[in-house]
Amino acid sequence: MTEPLFFDNDCLSAFLWVGYENLLVKLYPGRIMIPGHVYLELSSPGVDHLRKRVDLLLSSGDAVQKSIETATKEYIIYRKLTSAPDAGHKIIGKGEAAAISLAKCNDGILASNNLKDIADYVKCYGLKHLTTGDILKEALERSFISEAEGNLIWSKMLAKRRKLGFLSFSDFLAAN
């Protein structure tokens, strides 16, 4: 795989909180894309330390910030998802909408944990999709982490209220 990965806040912040963003750099060199709206969410005063970690990724060239220009295909999708979704769909966050629209229009992969709310869009737009669990599993398969380390990372992410879907990394592996 060489496609760019577009991260939403939930997925990216999970790695930032536990100090494992370098795992993303090792797994996906040159492919980490951070939507501008996700950067803004991570610039909230209470999580300034997360924004500083993102700034390091950006300044080192390990990640690229991607904005959505008005009057583009990305913008049309973004506006629909954040302002006027089809009947039966929830209004989704600006960060996750930006990640979806950028992934769709740049033949990229969506990195998001929020399966419950975005599954329809993944299907509708034919998106490739990775969760935090998928990323850690890939790190395990490439021997960047052990299962025990994965479980420790997992528990720390859960402590920061990240929605990972399973109680432990081992549980995730057993189901995937």
Partner 1 sequence: MICTSDIMTKSIQLRTKLGEDANSPIDIFALAQDIEQLTIVYYPMGENLSGICLKGAAGNNVISINSSMTVGRQRFSLAHELYHLYFDKNMTAVCAQKIGVGQETEKEADLFASYFLMPAAALQTKVEMLKAKNDSNDLSIYDVIRLEQYFQVSHQAAVIRLRQDKLLNADAADAMISKGVRRLAESIGYSTELYKPLPVEKQYMTYGNYIDQAEQVLKRGLVSDGKYEELLLTAFRSDLVYGDNEEGEEIID
Binding residues for partner 1 (CB under 8 A): 8-10, 13, 17, 41, 44-48, 90-96, 114, 116-118, 159-161, 163
Between residues 41 and 62, which has the closer beta carbon with respect to partner 1? 41
**Nearest to partner 1 of 21, 96 (CB atom):** 96
Element (H, E) at 5: strand 5-7
CA dihedral defined by 21, 27, 30, 32, rounded to 10 degrees? -50
CB of 106 to partner 1, least distance (A): 20
Kindly tell me which of 9 and 151 has the beta carbon lying closer to partner 1.
9
* H-helix or E-strand spanning residue 148: helix 147-159
Least separation in angstroms between CB 135 and partner 1: 18
Which of 31, 13, 8, 2 is closest to 78 using CA atoms?
8
CB 6 within 8 A of CB 108: yes
Of the two residues 32 and 42, which places its CB atom closer to partner 1 in the complex?
A: 42
Find the shortest distance in angstroms from Cβ 17 to partner 1: 7
